[in-house]
Amino acid sequence: MPMETSKQSLISRYFTSDRDAASLAFFRIGFGLLMFVSLVRFWALGWIDKLYLTPKFHFHYWGMDWVTVPGIYTYGLFAICGIAALMVSAGIRYRIAIILFFLSFTYIELMDKTTYLNHYYLISLLSFMLIWLPANCLYSVDAVKDKSLRSGRIPSWTIDSLKVMIAIVYIAAGLAKLNSDWLTRAMPLTLWLQGKSDLPLIGGLMHQSWVHYAFSWGGALYDLCIIPLLLVRRTRVFAFSLVVIFHVMTRVLFPIGMFPFIMIFCSLLFFAPSIHRQILDWLGERMGFAMAKWQTDSILSQSLFLSVSQVVIIAFLVVQVVFPLRSHFLTDNVYWTERGYRYSWRVMLMEKTGYANFKIQNTRTGKRFYVDNGDFLTGFQQKQMATQPDFIIEYGQYLGRHFESQGHQHVGVFVESYVALNGRPSQQYIDPQVDLMQIDYKSLVESHILQFDE
């Protein structure tokens, strides 16, 4: 190869290269099934009622005040989402199904930010990506019906883009763990692990300080190294065992739901396409499908949609690399103020316990009274609210409007709030002198949060 091979040609050669479509089909089938199971589990545990229908008040994401909980139709929304997940898995009207899944799932998440979890966010992102990817070319009902769709090979980038997304999650999570609380104080794992002495086998170790440090350092190392280990062929099986051990451990130790299974599944994407094909053929044969029908060597033909997809996915991934880093452009402590905390793969990084006592005061007469938060929020909402500034402001303003509508005049809302972060003594959190009604919470200026004292 001539020395002057430019980067340009390397890149363009990569973007014209193709790979076995089985990988993406494998991901589509598994993802759809896992989503379906997750939704059924959520429904069966009664969480639709508990988390969405019971609360009288819902916390909105910034700029998402228009999202409302559709009452009893929320069950319908979950049903649509679940059916869409099954359709995605089977590859029935894939494009419509995945769009429907993305929209319904994301809408569900937007209904109340009390339930925010990084892995729900990840699912929204992955399903958004899947809208643009040709995941139904193989092993799908669509491809059986439509021969022109059926392709054995698809562009490499369509598969690699998902790996990049998974890599961003792990590496960002690993980098976020490189902070002093995690590494030098083994916090918050010390708090979480010391009470787990009733666990079988490992319970006796759970109060030992060195175990807390080992878990902390090991966790950070795992997050940072797992992607390279999965990428290199020789270490892949070892890496996969690590993935399984790590996520099974987190499942045993913490109430973490379906997340470990989703991450274990995602790591399978790093294996060679031939593995995916073997798994699918093996499963397909057992389910009585004539697998020979699926064999084709044709390459997915270039289309306008695919070109647009490529631009969208690249732009999307660039945003995903940059967005989690945003808190580094702020001077405040991200754990204390939580500015830039969400959507940046900060997983299990802090234990915050809080208490917020709201005072309604007539700003003219000074007459005041306190609010019983239980009258307005569920226990879960109260807990989340008390440690997050944006929740405190939104709820405070809701209280103000509520009492105004009850005929109270010159309503000022003040909060006496205390937060303990990662085992430190509690400190006052929001400035008790600030009238929450006067804060423009859309402005993202948060001078009302008191300074964090290390």
Q: Which is nearer to another protein, 275 or 312 (CB)?
A: 275
Q: How far is the CB of 367 from another protein (least distance, A)?
A: 5
Indicate whether 241 belongs to the interface with another protein (CB under 8 A).
Answer: yes
Indicate whether 37 belongs to the interface with another protein (CB under 8 A).
Answer: no
Instruction: Using the rule CB under 8 A, give the single segment among 105-113, 255-263, 330-338, 390-398 that binds another protein.
Output: 255-263
**CA 125-67-169 angle, 5° bins:** 20
Distances (CA, A) of 164 to 170, 271, 316, 318: 10, 14, 11, 10
The residue ranges of DSSP E strands in 272-348, in sequence order, are none
User: Tokens representing 203?
Assistant: 């319970």
Contact 322, 159 (CB under 8 A): no
Q: Which is nearer to another protein, 95 or 424 (CB)?
A: 424
Kindly identify the residues of this chain, within the stretch 397-416, that bind another protein according to CB under 8 A: none
Q: Which residue has the tokens 């997809």?
A: 309
Q: How far is the CB of 200 from another protein (least distance, A)?
A: 4
333 Cβ contact partners less than 8 Å away, ≥ 6 residues apart: 452
Q: Which is nearer to another protein, 103 or 258 (CB)?
A: 258
Kindly identify the residues of this chain, within the stretch 60-99, that bind another protein according to CB under 8 A: none
Q: Which is nearer to another protein, 14 or 238 (CB)?
A: 238
Q: How far is the CB of 204 from another protein (least distance, A)?
A: 3
Amino acid at 306: L
User: Tokens representing 237?
Assistant: 């099986």
String marking each residue 355-394 x if it binds another protein according to CB under 8 A: x-x--x------xxxxxx-----xxx-xx-----------
- In angstroms, the CA 417 to CA 386 distance is 7
Q: Which is nearer to another protein, 288 or 366 (CB)?
A: 366
Indicate whether 195 belongs to the interface with another protein (CB under 8 A).
Answer: yes
- In angstroms, the CA 312 to CA 155 distance is 15
- Coil/strand/helix, residue 9: helix
- State the DSSP code for 43: H
- In angstroms, the CA 446 to CA 302 distance is 49
Which of 198, 297, 440, 454 is close enough to bind another protein by CB under 8 A? 198
Which of 156, 235, 278, 397 is close enough to bind another protein by CB under 8 A? 278
Indicate whether 184 belongs to the interface with another protein (CB under 8 A).
Answer: no
Kindly identify the residues of this chain, within the stretch 416-445, that bind another protein according to CB under 8 A: 418-420, 423-426
Indicate whether 119 belongs to the interface with another protein (CB under 8 A).
Answer: yes
Q: Which is nearer to another protein, 215 or 271 (CB)?
A: 271
Contact 410, 362 (CB under 8 A): yes
Instruction: Using the rule CB under 8 A, give the single segment among 16-24, 132-140, 232-240, 296-304 that binds another protein.
Output: 232-240
Instruction: Using the rule CB under 8 A, give the single segment among 213-221, 275-283, 298-306, 394-402 that binds another protein.
Output: 275-283
- In angstroms, the CA 38 to CA 44 distance is 10
Indicate whether 197 belongs to the interface with another protein (CB under 8 A).
Answer: yes
Which of 275, 283, 306, 314 is close enough to bind another protein by CB under 8 A? 275
Indicate whether 192 belongs to the interface with another protein (CB under 8 A).
Answer: yes
Indicate whether 118 belongs to the interface with another protein (CB under 8 A).
Answer: yes
**Mind giving me the DSSP string for 163-232?**
HHHHHHHHHHHHHHH-SHHHHHS-TTHHHHHTT-TTSTTTGGGTT-HHHHHHHHHHHHHHHHHHHHHHHS
User: Tokens representing 171?
Assistant: 């590496």
Q: Which is nearer to another protein, 386 or 439 (CB)?
A: 386
